[in-house]
Structures are given as structure tokens and as C-alpha cells.
Amino acid sequence: MTEPAVGLDAIEIWTGKCKLDLANTFAPARDEDPEKYTKGLGLRASSFPDTYEDIVTMGANAAKRLMDREGLTPADIGRIDVATESAFDNSKPVSTYVAGCLEQVYEGDFRHANKGERKFACVSGTQSIDDAYNWIRAGRNRGRAALVIATDTALYARGDPGEATQGAGAVAMLVDVDPSIVTLSTEQGIGSMDETDFLKPNQQFPSVDGKRSVQVYLSRMREALEDYESVAGRVGVEDFVFAPFHTPFPGMVRKAAVLAYRHVTRGTEIEDALEPEIGRQPREDDFDGRESFETNMRDYVDALSGTERYRTWYGETVEPTLGIAREVGNWYTGSVHIARVSALLAALENDRNIGGETLLVGSYGSGAQAEIHAETVREGWREGVAAADPFDRLAERHSLSFAEYEHIHDAHNHEVETEIEAFTEPNGEFIHAGWGRMNERKYEYVE
């Protein structure tokens, strides 16, 4: 019996409704060169939630938009999983709040839908898709689809080097059989180790060893790629049309991409073709010690990144995945999922026919684990992706002055009491409306 094709049938994106311009507002206040942000990190702006937004409102608003567009009711959904690393409760999952919001506006309820919350830093959005995939493949879904929501308010302590990479938003995804956008490969690769690079030990803002986190990302990603190749066969640069990767900031993906390219071209005709220009890839056996091997490898990778061949590949396969991230910053659990949408939107804009083509998707969570799998683009991808286009809404965000940014950061800091006015008007969306008797959050739908 052939297994049913399972994957993403619909996607919706909700951005926090404010933005911080990094080059024009953040850099001058920090007395830094704007190009550190635009060129070094590769970011133009970060999204921030307005005062009445949080991970629940952003997730529920993305989900409502998805359900309205797909004409779904609660009876069509058998599972709601929320992936987040910004949860405010160690017991009651965010998915119950999201379900409660949606039940305010739809006939019926989610009483028989399985709800949960996934945690493994940024990789948990992909893990939730895995859970949904496995649930459907196991035949436990009773014909219903799964709603996966990746939602985060990615804030760092003021003055932390990570402050430039903040962001806030949610991605809602419908996982179903015979999906319209992509199917997922059964094969997947994992690179996982106990690491202390980025963590939140019962605290809102992360403790980060930024430089180390970059190295851990690269190492776990390489292991995940090798593990993926051990089950799916050797990967070649021509095998996939786009490579959406977890994007804490685009500069991170730039570093990962050249290492991945070096790995997959080793011993191939591409290495041969590049030899006259940059030599062959260093092999460890040819060196006396690890240190001289690593120095030579760094030089090779530097030279590789400057070749026309590599730059063309990067421009076609990786650069299109970064379009949304540049405008919104890090959305943690949602980050790789906006990278996928960015790539598909770029294909749409260039009128490319990518039905049947492959995406190589790389997810990553600090602490740390990377996951790599392939996705096949379905013939119906265009319509679903066009509907998820967030760029008009990104353009409508309220642009924060630096003083307003400080207020909004305080408004979302659990340790600070603030009374500030919202910068935008809610319109046809869920809002955080206050607190209940057991300190639970209360939500309302505003017409």
C-alpha cells in the first residue's frame, strides 16, 4: 500500500504590528555603524508586538486567517500544537489559549482535538510538524488535519548583543494529506548534543554565548546533513531548488551555506571545475595536525565564497529564502517557516515553475539540535503561497522611535510594570485584554 502524501496544505503569517529600523533608529542610538546590521547581520528591521499583542494573539490571529481562507471549522482540526520558546506558563499550554480564542469566533469547539506545546528552542516548530505528520501517517487523525503554530516574542535583555536580532511573529501551518504546498520526506537527519550556548533557565530573556552559538549552529547542522545523507543518499547542489534554513539573522545562513556547499561538492565535478581557481579542498590526512588543516580549510572556504560559481548558486538557492527575515528579525520557532515562504514567494514573483522540485530544509534549536529533511513542492503551491504573502502587512507596521522601542520592550518585560498606550488600533483580531483571577491571560476578539 502506498503511504499518503503528507505535508503543508496552508500557511499564514502574522507579524508583530510594530517595527524597529536597525540602520536608522537602532544603530545611531547604539553609536554603531548601520552596516554592522544591514551588511554584517543582514537585517533591515525587527518586528515587535504592540502592547495588546503576545504569543497567543499572534498565533490565534495567524490561525484564524488560515481557517477563514481554507473555509475550516473546529471540526476539521484534530490537533493543535504550539511551538514556542516564549511561553509564560509551565503547565497550561499556549495551544489551550489559542483554542479558546478561536472558539470565541467559530461555531463548534476543539473539545476532541489533541493539544500540546513543543519545546526545543527554535527547532520545535519543525518537531511539531513531525508530530502532526506521524499522527496522520499512523492513521490516528480520523480524516482531520493538524494545526501547527510557531509563535514567539524573541526579546533579549537590553544591551545584549542579541538585541539586534530580536523579532516577533507567528506562523500557522495546516498539516494534511494530499497537501497543496509541499510534502515532507520520510528521510530526515538529526545532529543533536547537550550544549550550553543559548538557554532560558526559568527566565524570560535568554542567557547567550553568542559567538559559541554560531559555532554550535554550524556543527549541529553539518551533523544533521551527514545524517540525512546516510539515509537519503548523497546530496548534490543541483538536487534542490531552494534551501530554507533557520535564520536567526541572514549572516548566519550565509556562513552555513558556504560550508554546506563545500561539503556537498567535495569529490565532485564541481570541485574539479573550481580547482584551477582555488585549488582542491584540503583533506585532513594531508596535514600534520588539526590546526594547520583547519587554517587551510578556512582559507579554502573564504576563496570558495568569492567564486562566481558559488555566488550564482547562493543567489539562486539561498538568497531568496532571506527576504522576510531581513524585515522581521528572528522569529525563533517560526524562522525556518518564513524562510520557506520567502523562497516560494520569490519563485512566484519570478514566475518560476517549481512544482515537483525539492527544497532542502534545515531547522535548528539551541541547546542544541539541527534537523534536515527534504520537501517536494506540490503543483498547487502558487495559490497558497500568494495568500501567505506578508509584505503588505510588514509595510503597515508602526515604525518605532528609539524611545518608543524602549517602552515596548518594557511593556513585554515580565519584570516591569508599565502603562503605555498602544501604537496601533486593533482591527478584526484577537487582543490580550487583561488578567483573570488565577493570573491567567484573558483574550478578546475585536471586530
- Residues marked active site are found at 85, 122, 246
Of 165, 183, 317, 358, the one binding ligand CAA (CB under 6 A) is 165
Q: What region, left, alpha or beta, does residue 179 occupy, with left being phi > 0 and alpha being psi -120 to 50 degrees?
A: beta
Q: Among 6-14, 211-219, 310-318, 375-383, which window interacts with ligand CAA (CB under 6 A)? A: 211-219
Site for ligand CAA in 99-158 (CB under 6 A): 122
Residue with cell 511561553: 87
Residue 271 neighbours by CB distance under 10 Å: 16
Q: Shortest distance, CB of residue 38 to ligand CAA, whole angstroms?
A: 8
Question: Contact at 8 Å (CB) between 143 and 76?
Answer: no
Q: Which secondary structure element, helix H or strand E, spans residue 7, and what is its range?
A: strand 6-15
Closer Cβ to ligand CAA, 25 or 141, answer by number: 25
Nearer CB in complex with ligand CAA: 72/252 = 252
Structural element, H or E, at residue 118: strand 114-118
Please identify the residue of the shown chain whose CB is closest to the bound ligand CAA: 40
Measured CA to CA, the distance from residue 206 to residue 335 in angstroms comes to 17
Q: Which stretch binds ligand CAA (CB under 6 A): 99-107, 144-152, 161-169, 431-439?
A: 161-169
Cis geometry, peptide bond prior to residue 368 (ω within 30 degrees of 0)? yes
Name the pairing type of β-strands 45-48 and 77-83.
unpaired
Q: Which is nearer to ligand CAA, 49 or 179 (CB)?
A: 49
Handedness of CA 195, 197, 198, 202 (dihedral sign): positive
Binding-site string for ligand CAA from residue 412 to residue 441, where x marks contact by CB under 6 A and - marks none: ------------------------------
- The angle formed by the CA atoms of residues 412, 65 and 401, to the nearest 5 degrees, is 35
Q: Which amino acid is at 313?
A: W
Among 330, 358, 363, 369, binds ligand CAA (CB under 6 A): 330
**Is the CB of residue 128 less than 8 Å from the CB of residue 336?**
no
Compute the distance between CA of residue 193 and CA of residue 247 in angstroms, rounded to an integer. 20
42 binds ligand CAA, rule: CB under 6 A: no
Measured distance CA(20)–CA(165) in Å, rounded: 11
Closer to ligand CAA by CB, 162 or 426: give it: 162
- Least CB distance to ligand CAA at residue 232 (A): 24
The smaller minimum CB distance to ligand CAA, of residues 46 and 317, is found at: 46
Q: Which stretch binds ligand CAA (CB under 6 A): 92-100, 204-212, 256-264, 385-393?
A: 204-212
In whole angstroms, the minimum distance from the beta carbon of 246 to ligand CAA comes to 6
Select 252 or 328, whichever has its Cβ closest to ligand CAA: 252
Q: Which residues contact 125 (CB under 8 A, 6 or more apart)?
A: 83, 118, 148, 150, 171, 333, 334, 335, 336, 337, 363
Number of residues that bind ligand CAA (CB under 6 A): 27
User: Which parts of 331-360 interact with ligand CAA (CB under 6 A)?
Assistant: 332
Q: Which member of 364, 405, 443, 445 binds ligand CAA (CB under 6 A)?
A: 364
Nearest approach, Cβ of 267 to ligand CAA (angstroms)?
Answer: 27
Minimal distance in Å, beta carbon 181 to ligand CAA? 24
Q: Select the span of 53-61, 128-136, 212-220, 313-321 touching ligand CAA (CB under 6 A).
A: 212-220
CA dist., res. 183 & res. 136, Å (int): 13
Q: Which of 100, 179, 248, 362 binds ligand CAA (CB under 6 A)?
A: 248
CB count, 10 Å around CB of 94?
27
The CA distance from 329 to 48, in Å, is 10
Least distance between ligand CAA and beta carbon 196 (Å)? 12
The residue among 120 and 445 lying less far from ligand CAA, judged by its C-beta, is: 120
Q: Which of 199, 214, 422, 433 binds ligand CAA (CB under 6 A)?
A: 214
Cα distances (angstroms) measured from residue 335 to each of 74, 126, 431: 26, 10, 23
Q: Phi then psi for 336, rounded to 5 degrees?
A: -65, -25
Give the closest residue to 187 by CA, choosing from 110, 135, 254, 133: 133
With cell 495559490, the residue in question is: 383
Q: Name the residue nearer to ligand CAA (CB basis): 40 or 279.
A: 40
Residue 328 main-chain phi, psi, to 5 deg: -125, -15
- Residues near ligand CAA (CB under 6 A) are 33, 35-36, 39-41, 122, 161-162, 164-165, 198, 208, 210-211, 213-214, 217, 246, 248-249, 251-252, 330, 332, 364, 366
